[in-house]
Amino acid sequence: MRRLVLFFALVATLTTLVHGDSCAPPSQAIPVYRSFNNGAGDHFYTTNTAEYNTATASGGYFAEGARFAVFPTASATNTVQFIRLFNGGVTDHFYTTNQTEANNAAAGGGYTIENLSPMYIYSTQLCGSVPLYRSYSANATDHFYTTSMEEQNGMLGYKFELIAGYVLSLNASEPSNGSTSAGSTFAGSPSNTVAPPSNTANAALRVFPAVPRLSIAQFLLTLGAALLL
């Protein structure tokens, strides 16, 4: 009986090691493309490249490239939907994991919940994810999201609101707090009307690998099982 229990502990531990217990496979994450409409004062985020191309080719948006990565389906372990809303009256795309906030914006704020290019992100910092900072410009009526606090701080007229959730970095070599020297050179602040370099759209997607970790209890159970079996 004891051996049986230990055997199952061993199997559970090995399963955890192979699959990870709380991480969606990073290979399933897809890039989120950002574009900016200077006239309307709107930052737009989408995983749909056709939508991104249309917005940047004929919608008045500057292409700002792939910025971070998210999961496209609700089946991604431990993720929540990053709900997309749009207000056509003031031209603002707004994204939140908070269903109450989304409902409030839809009920009285002039926003419509759009079930387009669904995005799923972590609500806590799991699996090598990085914070996605949200700021808001009341002047431009624009919500802005970035993984770079440095870029965030450089946005004139934007006030930091909260961490919207946790996403995967496009570049595993980026510091985990999202700071990157490239952040300060990105176009897209309202004061910047110069289109960014076109190669940012083609940045290779390299995300953090999920590194499963053994808890001390799992380690001891495995050790015990190995000694007894």
Ligand X SMILES: *[C@@H]1O[C@H](CO)[C@@H](O)[C@H](O)[C@H]1NC(C)=O
String marking each residue 121-160 x if it binds ligand X according to CB under 6 A:
------------------x---------x------xx---
Among 115, 173, 181, 199, binds ligand X (CB under 6 A): 173
Region near ligand X per CB under 6 A, out of 4-12, 23-31, 83-91, 165-173 = 165-173
Instruction: Give the distance, in angstroms, between the CA of residue 15 and the centroid of all CA atoms in the same chain.
Output: 27
Query: Shortest Cβ contact with ligand X: which residue?
Result: 157
Q: Does 202 bind ligand X (CB under 6 A)?
A: no
Interface with ligand X, residue 193, by CB under 6 A: no
Number of residues that bind ligand X (CB under 6 A): 17
Helix axes 216-228, 2-19, angle to 10 degrees: 130
- 7: Cα separation from own chain's centroid: 38
Residue recorded with tokens 């004061």? 191
Does residue 192 belong to the site contacting ligand X (CB under 6 A)? no
Helices (H) and strands (E) in the chain, counts: 5, 11
Alpha helices in 86-143 (DSSP H): 99-108
Q: How far is the CB of 189 from ligand X (least distance, A)?
A: 10
User: Are 48 and 117 within 8 A, CB to CB?
Assistant: yes
Distance CA 135, CA 159 (A): 5
Q: Which of residues 97-126 bind ligand X (CB under 6 A)?
A: 98, 100-101, 104
Beta carbons of 189 and 153 less than 8 angstroms apart = no
What is the smallest separation between the CB atom of 28 and ligand X, expressed in angstroms?
Answer: 20
> What is the Cα–Cα distance from 94 to 87, expressed in whole angstroms?
8
Residue 189 binds ligand X, judged by CB under 6 A: no
Which is closer to ligand X, CB of 58 or CB of 100? 100
Q: Which of the 8 DSSP states describes residue 197?
A: P
Under the criterion CB under 6 A, does residue 16 sit at the interface with ligand X? no
- Residues in touch with ligand X (CB under 6 A): 98, 100-101, 104, 139, 149, 156-157, 170-171, 173, 175, 177, 179, 182, 190, 203
